[in-house]
Structure 1
Amino acid sequence: MFTGTLEFDVVLPADSRSLKAKRGYVRPVVAALRRLEVSVAEVDQLDLHGRAAIGVAAVASTAKHVGEVLDACERLVAGRPELELLSVRRRLHSSDDE
């Protein structure tokens, strides 16, 4: 069994001056990622209006499949014109890891 995680650090548009406005940008991204059958949540910078950290996790029987799913997630977030993607942290774990 293999698990993979991504953590996206994104900058939101300048008009995101409230937590309500922030949710308006983050929710559609989270919903789109969930359609890729991954677990996803806003994981950090919860009180900052202009930034968001979005975490994604996937599980599969092969490392190749996990990598393909994570690649699709990364393309989806990078392709969102309303977001500026600052960084992506990717990790892959095997059930054999200690």
Structure 2
Amino acid sequence: MWIGWVELDVLMGDVHTLKEKRALVRPLVADLRRTFTVSAAETGSLDLYRRAGIGVGLVAGDSQHVIDVLDKVEDFVSRRPELDLLSARRGLASSDD
């Protein structure tokens, strides 16, 4: 079994309140869950209205599948015009570790 995750640090464009931030982050998290069948949540920078940390994780039987999905998730977020992807940190572990 392989477990993979990516922590995304994103900067939002024209956002001035936490309410406006939530209006961007919630649909993004829902899109990630629906499109890629992964677990996703806002995990960082909760009090900052222009920054968000988004965590995405998945479990699969094949490490290459995990890597492919995480590549697609990162690309999906980087293509959103209302966001700038500042960084992406990844992890990959086997149940045998």
TM-score (normalised: structure 1): 0.94
Letter in 1 for 2:25: V
In structure 2, what is the Cα distance between the partners aligned to 1:51 and 1:57?
A: 20
Offset, 1:83: 0.3
Show structure 2 runs of 5+ residues with no match: none
Offset, 1:29: 1.0
User: Alignment partner of 2:65: what SS?
Assistant: helix
Is 1:58 the equivalent of 2:63?
A: no
In structure 1, what is the Cα distance between the partners aligned to 2:89 and 2:29?
A: 17
1:21 alignment partner in structure 2 = 20
| Per-residue Cα deviation, 1:51-84 (whole angstroms, up to 9, x for no partner) | 0000000100010111111111111101101101
| Per-residue Cα deviation, 1:18-58 (whole angstroms, up to 9, x for no partner) | 11100011112101100110000000110100100000001
Letter in 1 for 2:16: R
Q: Aligned-residue CA RMSD in angstroms?
A: 0.7
2:2 alignment partner in structure 1 = 2
User: Alignment partner of 1:48: what SS?
Assistant: coil
User: Alignment partner of 1:74: what SS?
Assistant: helix
2:79 alignment partner in structure 1 = 79
Q: Sequence identity, in percent?
A: 55
Show structure 1 runs of 5+ residues with no match: none
1:32 alignment partner in structure 2 = 31
In structure 1, what is the Cα distance between the partners aligned to 2:79 and 2:21?
A: 18
TM-score (normalised: structure 2): 0.95
